[in-house]
Every structure is written in structure tokens, then in C-alpha cells.
Copies of this chain bind each other. A is one copy, B any other.
């Protein structure tokens, strides 16, 4: 039938069917109904595409308008959008598995996915799209995230869905879901804040052992009818010492440690970090963290003397009075864990999804075309982007010029070479012993025996030593500091020598990255990736199962950890002020 006849002008044929389409309701006609299955013309596709980029879930009215514009039925437009979303979602998912890129995901879709993930507490969804944004241009800059996406997937990562990070007055707000990523790698026992500013990546990280406690702040959601401006919701992390700072010399493919880049180096002074986010969401995420042995034992290896093992049962922990400025709230609640490590009050699953409503979120189209590094941050006025909704949130030091390989972010003092301000000595500012409290343990099963071999404290453990075998490991910009972060005994314990690794498909990338910077080892992801290689032989079991959903789609021989890979990105969005039972949780 399709032998020779040249296809007639499509628009004409479509016209036939739609021109007199009744202005009826929506479910009415599909093009097909009228005649045949019709292929969208390039014209139509163009418009659809544009509209999709603007809004991946247009309301009926908008669909109708579009439909009229391009001579399609509203129904067909609807279907097109549906299929498109599905397609992109699939791509996103796939890109997770393969670690491939996906610059084909318009910001609108990201926003949408974000929101979706946000509203459904489901980690799966979060993974998918949380992850997708990074996979864009990986290899190039070799961020930790990229490293992850490149590996075959043994790395277990969990996110904290936060949209803001505040340390003192220094504050970063995630704007397009790529500029602020907060996550931890259980196996590394390390918490990381990933920050992107104008295509340059920065990160702050610290091993669990640096964490004095973590608090979930629920504002004054319920039970406190006072009209007071609600306290910032989210996690409050209290450290016992300053974290580590890194930056990504853009494009070169790796992080190197650097000095405190926060405004006035506040992060080196103030040990309280506020991670703003939806308490309901964070509740579950926090539950996971605290269920980790590596978290619960985070102080065991060096701080046994500092904390009496008897205290932890108390449901309410008095917080150290010496606390500078943050939240001395009366609302405290014990974090209760379910068999799955989820809090009892975990969101039931009755999300209120704002169906196919265009989200009032800033959209960054520029992202779509430019093959730039994975992340980038608030440029006060991005083309096409409406940043107004974020305006009320104070952003410090955003008046940076375009950045080259050098970074400039919220810090007037040195970075790069002047990177070290508080190595070991930082302990004097906030020594572990000072802050250590009985509240470190959230359950009774904390004090577990530690293998003798794992007595590498974060202070002294050069757990990177195996990597030193590599000749080009010495990077001029790397300071000794790079050797004492991530003092995770477990990792140190199980970490195999590098030359013992089996070469997986991603091993190549690994070696490439290794050639780049000595700081490689400082990159949590890289580390974890190497570690993941080992996992091929040494499957590890984490207490979480919930995140381990995607794995099933990969290989059936994959352990649950396999699937639960790279939650690189933390989606964020409007915070649902919905009430959460416990208003305040301290770990």
C-alpha cells in the first residue's frame, strides 16, 4: 500500500480531521478516530517540543491551545506529552544503569520529575531523576558524581533531599536541582555536600565520625499554633570538627582539596550545618542513615572514652548548651525505627500530587543546550529563567564573574593554595571530646565490637595508602590533608589494594581519573567506585532494602546494593508543610 505514492501534505490530511472537530470535552477524539494513525509532522513536533520544554505537564487548557496551534486533537497532544514523559523517564532510568549521559532531558522535565519524586516519598523515583541531571557530561570534569555514573554500579549512595545549606550566615540554595546535592555513601561513612557554582563543583564532606549529632527540625508545623515564623525545617547537623573542602578544577576531571570557601570561612568556625528540606522527606532519609552500622559506630574507633555507652536509650537528648546559635527547641522526639529503618510516622504514601500542573519553579533552559559540566548555580538573572521565586532567599556572594578553571565562591580568602586552615588543629575549635555527647547513639545496638584491624581513626589513618602505589598520584595542589579525611574504619578495613581490582567496564574510566589527580582518592565517589569493584567479589549487605528497587531491572545477579546506585542528585522543590508527627528529632 505504501508502494510508491508520495505522502501527501500531512498537514492537509490532519486538517481534514481536526478542522471541524467538535469543541467538545477532552476525551473526545483522537486523530485516529477520524481517520488514521497520524504521524506528527516536523512542524507539530517542533511546537510540541518547545511546549514540552516549557512545561512537561501542561494543563488541559494549554494542551487545547497547543492542539489548535498545530492542528491536532487535544487528546493527541495529551498522549504525546504522556508518551514523551514516559520516554524521557525511561531514558533517565537507562542513563542511570549505563552511566551514559542524557542531555536530552529538558529542565522542565527535570522539574517535573523532581516534583514527582518529591511528592512521592519513594526513593526509587528520587534516584531516577535525582540521578539524571548529573549524567549529562560526566567524563569531562570527573566529579565524584561523574565517577559514580561511570561505574557499573556497586556504589550505594543515599541522598538527603535538601534545597538549602546554611552554615552560619553562609547559605546556598539549590535552584535547579544540580547545584546542591547532599548525600552520603554508607560504605564510606561519609557525608557530602556537593555544590555547583557556575559550572564549577565544590564540595564539603566529612566522615560520619565528625558528626556529633543530627537533628530533624520540623519547624512548628503542628502543635505549636503560635504565629511565630516557623523555624527553618530540615536537618541540623552538628559536627565535632570542621569538615573538608574540595573543589573541582573545572574540566580537568577531579576534585582537589582546598580551603574553606565559605564566606569568612564560617564553615571552619561554625559546627552547625543546617540542611533545609521537607521534614517528611528527610525523616525517612534520616532513618536510613541512622540505621547504618557505619553511622552508629561512627565514634567507636576513637571516641569510646568520650561517650558513655549507657546513655543512648534516653528518648530525649539534651543538647549541649554550648551550641552557638541554632535551634534550642523544646520539641524533641526520639527517632523511632521500623524494621526497615523507616520511622514509624513515615509518610503513609498518600501523596498529594499536583497532577499535570505546571510547577511554579524556575526553569533553566540554558541547561538544555550547553554541554557544560553537570552542575551550575544561581546566576542572578539567567536567560529565560525566572528566579524570582528564589529571590527572598538570601544568596551570598553570587555576584561572581564567569569562572574559568579557577573558582570563586563565597569566600574572600584563599582557596586553591591557601586551602588549609584547619587541618588537625581545627579540633581545637571544636574538638570531638568537647562535643561528644551520650546522644550519639539512637538505639541500643550501637556499641558493637570493632575488628581490630579497623582501628584507623580519621585522625591518623592514611587509608589511601594503597593508592600511593600509583606514580602520578602526587598532585601539586594536594596537601597532606587529603590523607586524613573519610576516616571510615570499615572502608579502610575492607579496602583492597588497587592493583587487586578486577577490571570492570568502567575500570578504564577509573584509571583515567586516577591519572588526573592525586586527589582522586579524596573524591568520595571515586573511592566508592573503586570500592565497588571489590564488591564484585565481596557483596556487602546494607540494612536498607527500600532503595534497592531498581536493581531488579538491571541484572538479577546484582545484589540489592547494586541497584541502589548513585543517588547523585537530590531533587528539591517546594517544601510540603504538611505536618509530620515528630517535630524535632535528634539522632
Contacts and interface: CB of A to CB of B under 8 A. Distances in A.
Nearest to A8: B556
A563 to B, nearest CB: 9
Contacts of A555: 1, 5, 22
Contacts of A94: 1
Given A36-B549, A549-B36, A556 B93 contact: no
A352 interface: no
A368 B234 CA distance: 58
Contact of A25 (B28, B33, B553): B553
Interface in A546-568: 549, 552-557
B21 A556 contact: yes
A368 to B, nearest CB: 24
Nearest to A552: B36
Interface in A2-37: 2, 5, 8, 13, 20-25, 27-28, 33, 35-36
A35 B21 CA distance: 42
A160 B35 CA distance: 21
Given A35-B549, A549-B35, A97 B1 contact: yes
A556 B22 contact: yes
A68 to B, nearest CB: 14
Contacts of A27: 90, 348-349, 553
Nearest to A33: B349
Contacts of A90: 27
Contact of A20 (B21, B24, B25, B556): B556
A24 B340 CA distance: 15
A565 B1 CA distance: 15
Contacts of A549: 35-36
A65 to B, nearest CB: 17
Interface of A is mostly: loop
Nearest to A338: B22
Contacts of A93: 1
B24 A553 contact: yes
A1 B554 contact: yes
A467 to B, nearest CB: 28
A304 to B, nearest CB: 36
B97 A552 contact: no
A557 B13 CA distance: 12
A237 B35 CA distance: 31
A8 B552 CA distance: 10
Contacts of A33: 349
A553 B36 contact: yes
Interface string A130-169: 0000000000000000000000000000000000000000
Nearest to A17: B555
Contacts of A22: 552, 555-556
Contacts of A556: 5, 8, 13, 20-24
Contacts of A21: 556
A94 to B, nearest CB: 7
- Centre residue among A5, A97, A348, A553 by max chain B CB count within 10 A: A553
Nearest to A93: B1
A102 to B, nearest CB: 14
A43 to B, nearest CB: 19
A554 B349 CA distance: 38
A23 B552 CA distance: 9
Given A5-B557, A20-B557, A36-B552, 6 more contacts: A1-B553, A5-B556, A22-B556, A24-B552, A27-B348, A36-B553
Q: Which 5 residue pairs across A and B have the least CB separation, nearest first?
A: A22-B556, A36-B552, A1-B553, A8-B556, A1-B554
26 contacts: A1-B93, A1-B94, A1-B553, A1-B554, A2-B553, A5-B557, A20-B556, A20-B557, A21-B556, A22-B555, A22-B556, A23-B556, A24-B552, A24-B553, A24-B556, A25-B552, A25-B553, A27-B349, A27-B553, A28-B553, A33-B349, A35-B549, A35-B552, A36-B549, A36-B552, A36-B553
